[in-house]
Every structure is written in structure tokens, then in C-alpha cells.
Structure 1
Amino acid sequence: MVNFATFDLNLLRVLDALLRDRSTIKAGERLGLSQPAVSAALGRLRHALNDDILVRQGQRMVPTDFANRLTGPLREELFRLETLFVEPAFEPETANMTFRVCGSDFFADMLMPALIERTQEISPFIKIQLVDLVPDSYVDTLDRYGADAALVPDADFPDWIEKQVLFRSPFVVISAKDNPHTKAAKLKAGDTFPLDLFCALKHALFSPQGNIRSMGDDALDAIGRQRDVVATLPAFSGVCRTVGNSDLIALVPCQYAQNLGGLLNIRAYKAPIDVVVPKISLIWQRRLDNAPSQVWFRELVSSILSPLDTDAESWL
């Protein structure tokens, strides 16, 4: 039994960081403490809770069963404490603060220009940062970058994450406007790209991690077909520019193709395969749910991106 009369409640923040990062070094970086200070705090936690909390397993530190049971409830209680100190009011006209949102380069084109313009109209002191996603773990992005929100494909998220689905983003086929193969096929913008031609041509693929497969390949597998991916790029802008200057084709979100079609040498066509249509969600930590500044920022982002769902209709 813990004696709360003598228990140092500051240790709860250390415990939460240790359970998140499973490393005294990383927990120290999160909290702004030295590694020895975190190690000392871990020792005090072990004594107070009569449990090892973290134990070494090979090269990793893993939580004990007792610590695992604490993880969710502890985070919830800390969130509740933080809400006691939520800003009482938010005046965007005079606010001097920075909002950080995570997302792919899709949002560098589809969100940031309008978001910065509207923000500057309302408040010249607010700053906006778009940072990249953490590979393979979108939720970790919020913690890693101290982000206010992230824009990611919809999924089942942990219960400490809130979300708002903003828009659907069907994939379309793009090729260079002067691609000799699409010219020979007499394709017009918006036509359905022939399946045989889709499989015969070489492809560029958006993949920050350099994977050569995506949802498009899953759709092809379902009908016993394959494609030839010869290039991967970590940004949709790079995919579009590569396609616009070559005979390659690619699958990209329809809104992105429409947005850049007038700027780059590309044309968009309906895909000949049933690629899963991603739903794009805005996610944030539950502890930020009611903070006035966060609500204002999320509503602003939503007002810019939600209309993209209308743009998707003609491609569905």
C-alpha cells in the first residue's frame, strides 16, 4: 500500500515517461531531466511501489505486469490533472503561440498555404509548423514531436486519442500529358486507365520507407495481376514531378493530382482497380480535447480540408 502522505507526486510524471519510452535516457529527454536523475527516481518508485517497474529483457527494458496495468489509468489521471490548468480563454487576434501539426507532404500543398493565409489574416503572431510523420507509428508522432494534432489515414487508435474524419482520398492514375503510351491509347483526362496498359507500364510509388508495395498492389493481387514499380519517392510532389518528366505512371490521391495538374505536366485518370479508399482523420490527444486554442486550431484545419471530400465524389 502506497502512503500518499509521503509519496512524491512528481514521481508520477517520471513513471508515465518511463512507461512510454521504456528508457531512462529517453524519459529524461521527455522530462528535461538528466539520466541519473531519472534512474534515481526509478529507484524511488521501485521502493514506494514495491515493484521493479521496468526489467531488462535482452537489449530492451520491458514493464512488469503491475506496471502494464498502471499505464492506461495513470495516463488518464495525469490528463485529468492537466485539464485543471487548461487556458481559460483564447483570443486568436492577440495570441502569440505555435501550433504544430504532423502530416505527409500532401498537406504541404493541400493545407499549409490556406492555413497560413487564414491564420495571418486573423493573428499575425501565431506560427504554424508542419512536421513529418513518425514511420510505422502515426500515434507516436504526437509524442515524438510534441504535436498538437496529426493528419493520418483513419484506423483504430488508442483510447487516449480523439479523432475527426475529414475527407476521403481516392487514388487516381497519373501520367505525363505527353506520355506516348497514353497518347496511343487516346486517353482523355478522367477516362478509366486500361488495366493491361496499367500493368505494362513502369510505376513510381510514394513510400517514405522505400517499400515497393502499397494498397495498389493488394488490389492487383486480388485479380491476379502485377505491376512494375521501378522508383519510390518519399514525397507525393516528387512522384508527380517524376511522372511528369518520364514515361512512368503512378497512383496518387485524386485531390493532389487535381491541385498540381495545372502546375505540372501530368494528367489524371480513373484507376482500373479497386484500391481501398483511405479516409483521412485529424487526431489529437484526449487531454487537448477542450483546450480553447486547440479547438480553434482544429476547426480551422477542418474548414480547409473537409471540402476535399466533395472533390473526391467524381472519382468514386
Structure 2
Amino acid sequence: MNFATFDLNLMRVLDAILREGSTVQAGKRLNMSQSAVSGALGRLRHSLGDELLVRHGNRLVPTDYARSIELPLREELDRIAAILAPPSTFDPATAEGTFRITASDFFAEMLMPPLADLLRKLAPGIRAQLVDLVPNSYIDSLETYHADLALIPDQSIPDWTSSQPLFYSSFVVIARRNHLHLTSAGVAPGNTVPIDLFCEIGQALFSPQGNFSAMGDAALAKVGRRRKVVMTLPVFSGVCRAVAESDLIALVPRQLAERVAPQMGLEIYRPPMPIDPPLIIAVWHRRSASNPLHRWMREKVIALMRLLNEGEQTAI
């Protein structure tokens, strides 16, 4: 390939096809006809000496070479876009775009309602999407779902990402009102559930992966005890609903429990063992760091989530 004569506009076409997996959808993204996109793909194949995309059913699947250049290409295009659109020109009131957040459904309750109100008032042309995390690999959600921001428990992150701390969240026990065993034992809402009773009552566990153990089990193991997990659910809403309609109990984040308890008929108790509150962080791809819309949305989400910080646990 002669780089001096290579048409760099073709790389925008390649990026669009890699994102969409279709020449038709890529054309819509670029405001080009399908035939123009197909023609550009043909020229790219000739110039780069690779098929780039091969048909698999109704989709175009990237070749190994195309996969190897997909992320570096997108980073360079985003960097050029950031250069050509300096932050001073960004006006949220007139901006249009979509911002995709990958997180558990905890954030459907705790983030999306205030974010919806904020966007309505300040940026009506910006759409927000909340999508599921990728089980076992939260960071991969940034690529798998082309997400702009991942809201996840604190962990080591790769060097192609950046992060900010958001909030600590302690755990509480939830049970339905007039819970048979808790009422019989005289345990009032707000008090600590005795450890023997806590370990005897069947429990529902939030686990997108379907695991039967989590942080609560590790905390119990430190004091030589085990609980009885009889059900796992991939969403917090399912955990809360199962508890509200049965004699199960569950450990859930305090902020979520306080939000949903009144409407779901739940009572809140203290767990019998200490559980270190996890730090929740925001993670994003460094390629988007200077994107004006991304930066504005990122700052708004971080500000909203830092309101969830807990007292002495907020030294972050």
C-alpha cells in the first residue's frame, strides 16, 4: 500500500462496518448508500491486501487482521474527532448523541432516574442506555457492548482504561414485613439478625454468574460460619422481589434497600458479621477521555453517584 496516495476516508468506512457488522447499517451511520459503502470496502480490500470482513449468515465477520486493527483505528479516529471538536464548542443543550453505561440493575434504581431528570433539563438531545455487565469480565463490557462507561466494584484495570472512585456501599439484610422467623425471634427492624438465625434462614443471592457464594459468605467464613443460599438471581430487582414474596432474606447494598423497601414492603436489618463495604468505581476507555460529550456525561454520572457515599467510608 502506498500511504501517500491512500484515501484515509476509507478508514471511517471500515470503522463503521466493524461497529455495525453490516454495510447497510454502516451506510446509515455515515449517511452513505449501501453501494457506496460496498465500493469503499472493495477498495480497502485491494489496498490492505486482506478480505477484512467475510459474510457469516446476515452479518459481516471481521478477519483476524481486521480485529487486530479495530481498536487502534477507533482510537485514532476518536482522537482526530476530539481535535476537530474542542471542548469549548460543546453545548449540552444542543448536543445530540447516545451514552451507553454498563452496570448492574442497582444503577437502574440509583442512577437512571436522577440522570433522566438531569438530561431532560440540561441535555434533551442526549440519550442514555444502561446495558448488562459481561459476566466474569466487567472491563470487557467496554468493548463487548461498545460501552462508554462501566460502573463496577473496584479492581485492577488495564492500562487502556481510566477510572474514578464513586462510593462505598455497606450491606444490609432485607426481609419482608412480619417475617415469620424474625418476628418469632423478636428481632425488630433496624436491629442485628442473630448469627444462628441468619445462617438458618434460606437466602436469595445476587449473582449474574449464578455463583452460590459472594462477599457475605467470605465474611461468614472468617467467623467460622456458613449461610443457606437457596436461590441465585442475576438482578437485584429479582432478589428484592423474591424476598418480598417469601420467607427468604438477602444481603443487598444499603442504598438500594432504603430506596425499594417502602414500595416493596421490606424491612431492613443489620447483618451479624462485619462486611467490608466495597468501593464502586467508574471505568472508561482512554480513547474517549477527550471526547466532549463523553467527558460531560462522565462528569455528570460521577457527580450523581458520589452522592451515594457513606459517612466515614467516603475518604476517597
User: Does 1:95 pair with 2:99?
Assistant: no
| CA shift digits 1:74-98 (9 cap, x unpaired) | 8876664454344562211122222
Whether the aligned pair in 1 keeps the contact of 2:195 and 2:273 (CA below 8 Å) is yes
Report if the CA contact (8 A) 1:102-1:149 is conserved: yes
The corresponding residue for 1:176 is 176
Q: 1:156-200, CA deviations, whole angstroms, 9 ceiling, x for partnerless residues? A: 111111111110111111111211211122223332221111111
Match of 2:99, SS? Answer: strand
Change (3 A) 1:12 1:119: closer
Cα distance in 2 for residues equivalent to 1:75 and 1:281: 24
Aligned counterpart, 1:121: 121
User: What residue in structure 2 maps to residue 213 of structure 1?
Assistant: 213
- 2: distance between equivalents of 1:105 and 1:223? 31
- Alpha carbon RMSD of aligned pairs, Å? 3.9
Name the count of aligned residue pairs: 298
Query: Partner residue of 1:138?
Result: 138
**Deviations 1:135-157 (Å, cap 9, x if unpaired)?**
11111211222222121111111
Distance 2:47 2:137 in 1: 29
For the residues of structure 2 that align with 1:82 and 1:238, how far apart are their CA atoms? 41
- Are the aligned partners of 2:166 and 2:280 in contact in 1 as well (CA < 8 Å)? yes
Take 1:134 and 1:278, find their aligned partners in 2: how far apart are those partners?
A: 19
Are 1:257 and 2:254 an aligned pair?
no
Instruction: Please state whether the residue corresponding to 1:189 is helix, strand or coil.
Output: coil
> What is the SS of the residue equivalent to 1:167?
strand
Question: Structure 1 unaligned runs (5+)?
Answer: 49-62
How far, CA to CA, are the matches of 1:244 and 1:156 in structure 2? 36
| Cα shift at 1:72 | 9.4
Alpha-carbon distance, 1:128 to partner: 1.6
The alpha-carbon distance between structure 1 residues 75 and 94, as it changes in their structure 2 partners (threshold 3 A), is closer
1:242: which partner in 2? 242
Alignment match, 2:57: none
SS in 2 for 1:229: strand
Q: Which moved more, 1:6-15 or 1:234-243?
A: 6-15
Give the structure 1 partner of residue 167 of structure 2: 167
Q: Which residue of 1 aligns with 2:83?
A: 84
Shift in Å, 1:312? 8.2
Q: Which residue of 2 aligns with 1:197?
A: 197
* Counterpart position of 2:53: none
Tell me the CA shift for residue 30 of structure 1: 11
Residue 146 of structure 1 aligns with an amino acid whose one-letter code is: H
- Residue 57 of structure 1 is matched in structure 2 by none
- The equivalences for 1:1-316 within 5 A come to 5=4, 80-86=79-85, 89-310=89-310
Between the aligned partners of 2:136 and 2:21, the Cα distance in structure 1 is 19
Alpha-carbon distance in structure 2 between the residues aligned to 1:124 and 1:301? 16
Cα separation, 1, equivalents of 2:197 and 2:44: 61
Equivalent residue, structure 1, for 2:56: none
Distance 1:156 1:41, change over 3 A: farther
Inter-partner Cα distance in structure 2 for 1:135 and 1:12: 32
CA contact (8 A) 2:173 2:251 kept: yes
2-structure distance, mates of 1:268, 1:29: 52
Contact 1:99–1:127 (8 Å) recurs in 2: yes
Identity of aligned residues (%): 45
Paired position in structure 2 for 1:53 = none
What is the rounded CA distance, in whole Å, between the counterparts of 1:218 and 1:166 in structure 2? 24
Aligned-partner Cα distance in 2 for 1:145–1:151: 14
The offset of 1:14, in angstroms, is 11
Shift of 1:12: 8.3
CA distance in structure 1 between the aligned counterparts of 2:43 and 2:276, rounded to whole angstroms: 48
> Does structure 1 conserve the Cα–Cα contact (< 8 Å) formed by 2:82 and 2:292?
no
TM-score normalised by the chain length of structure 2:
0.76
CA distance, structure 2, for counterparts of residue 92 and residue 82 of structure 1: 17
**Which stretch of the first structure deviates more once superposed, 78-87 or 234-243?**
78-87
Shift of residue 115, structure 1, vs aligned partner: 0.7
Aligned-pair CA distance for 1:113: 0.9
Distance 1:187 1:42 in 2: 70
Q: Distance in 2 between matches of 1:312 and 1:131?
A: 31
